[in-house]
């Protein structure tokens, strides 16, 4: 089903379209991932005086900066995701959804392995924050794997969106909690109350993100009930206009370009059902 879906989304725009249309169809999401990942990679190298050396020069060499190298690997995975997305949507003749989803599953699988290894030397607040993040990444990986086999399931899309919101918001919370607390005072690893409130904040993030999705769904339902019938009426009038002149439509199908011919043939088949 994903292979069929990939054929329905042509990645390269037709050459007879204007420049503005081609610019509009560029995968800016993929480009932003590449740019953001590249800036983060440069930042990781700049903040270390030794240039983020992999091993020391002692008699018994030892690996250095293990957590920083894991961060660097995560940023490289972000660049890989952006490159694959841009390649699929703007370089290949047809958008390959299998390639995008398969790469995304592989990236989250590697992220899960990195996060599990990342907490080996963590304790207290840092361990609790990363453990909750590992839970979200693990669930998201399972959802993405399920989406490979059921790509057209609305419930899976909804769960994926919710988990992505959870991952993003909790990453921001982790940054403020571990490195720059809003109160100005660092969290205490030996304080049970601080560790318990980390889980409480995570539950608040769950409620906030669920409320956000519920609000968007409610607004969409309200908008559809208010303006949906009028949009359907306009669509039915356009379909009746095309179906009233089948001979003229068939003649025009022979004159248009192949790409436009497929669009009009699809419209004709839908109007006949």
Gap between the Cα atoms of 21 and 104, Å rounded: 28
Asked, for residue 194, whether it belongs to a domain, the answer is no
How many structural domains does the chain have?
1
Q: Alpha helices of 50-124 — where are they, by DSSP H?
A: 66-90, 97-118
**Bigger pLDDT: 25 vs 108:** 108
Asked, for residue 101, whether it belongs to a domain, the answer is yes
Asked, for residue 145, whether it belongs to a domain, the answer is no
Asked, for residue 237, whether it belongs to a domain, the answer is no
For residue 131, give Cα distances in angstroms to 116, 202, 273: 8, 11, 52
Q: Cβ–Cβ contacts within 10 Å for residue 112, how many?
A: 15
Picking from 62, 84, 64, the residue whose alpha carbon sits closest to that of residue 72 is 64
Asked, for residue 266, whether it belongs to a domain, the answer is no
- Tokens of residue 30, six digits: 């993929």
Q: What pLDDT score does 5 carry? A: 44
Asked, for residue 184, whether it belongs to a domain, the answer is no
User: Is the per-residue pLDDT at 248 higher than 70?
Assistant: no
Asked, for residue 100, whether it belongs to a domain, the answer is yes
Gap between the Cα atoms of 197 and 165, Å rounded: 20
User: Is the per-residue pLDDT at 39 higher than 50?
Assistant: yes
Q: What pLDDT score does 211 carry? A: 94
Q: What pLDDT score does 189 carry? A: 82
Picking from 100, 57, 62, 61, the residue whose alpha carbon sits closest to that of residue 82 is 100
- Tokens of residue 11, six digits: 């990645």
Q: To the nearest whole percent, how much of the chain has pLDDT over 90? A: 24
> Which domain, by its residues, includes 15?
1-118
Asked, for residue 96, whether it belongs to a domain, the answer is yes
């Amino acid at each position: 089903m994903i292979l069929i879906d990939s054929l329905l989304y042509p990645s390269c725009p037709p050459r007879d379209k204007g420049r503005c249309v081609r610019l509009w169809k560029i995968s800016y999401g993929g480009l932003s991932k590449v740019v953001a990942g590249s800036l983060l990679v440069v930042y990781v190298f700049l903040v270390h005086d030794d240039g983020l050396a992999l091993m020391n020069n002692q008699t018994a060499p030892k690996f250095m900066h293990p957590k920083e190298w894991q961060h660097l690997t995560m940023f490289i995975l972000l660049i890989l995701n952006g490159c694959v997305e841009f390649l699929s949507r703007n370089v290949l003749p047809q958008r390959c959804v299998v390639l995008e989803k398969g790469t995304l599953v592989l990236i989250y699988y590697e992220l899960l392995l990195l996060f599990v290894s990342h907490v080996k030397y963590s304790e207290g607040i840092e361990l609790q924050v990363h453990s909750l993040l590992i839970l979200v990444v693990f669930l998201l990986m399972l959802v993405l794997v399920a989406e490979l086999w059921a790509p057209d399931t609305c419930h899976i899309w909804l769960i994926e969106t919710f988990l992505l919101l959870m991952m993003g918001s909790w990453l921001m919370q982790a940054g403020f909690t571990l490195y720059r607390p809003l109160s100005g005072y660092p969290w205490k690893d030996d304080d049970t109350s601080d560790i318990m409130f980390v889980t409480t904040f995570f539950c608040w993030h769950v409620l906030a993100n669920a409320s956000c999705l519920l609000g968007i769904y409610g607004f969409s339902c309200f908008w559809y009930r208010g303006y949906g019938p009028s949009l359907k009426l306009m669509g039915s009038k356009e379909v009746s206009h095309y179906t009233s002149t089948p001979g003229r439509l068939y003649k025009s199908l022979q004159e248009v370009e192949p790409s436009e011919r497929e669009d009009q043939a699809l419209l004709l088949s839908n109007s006949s059902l």
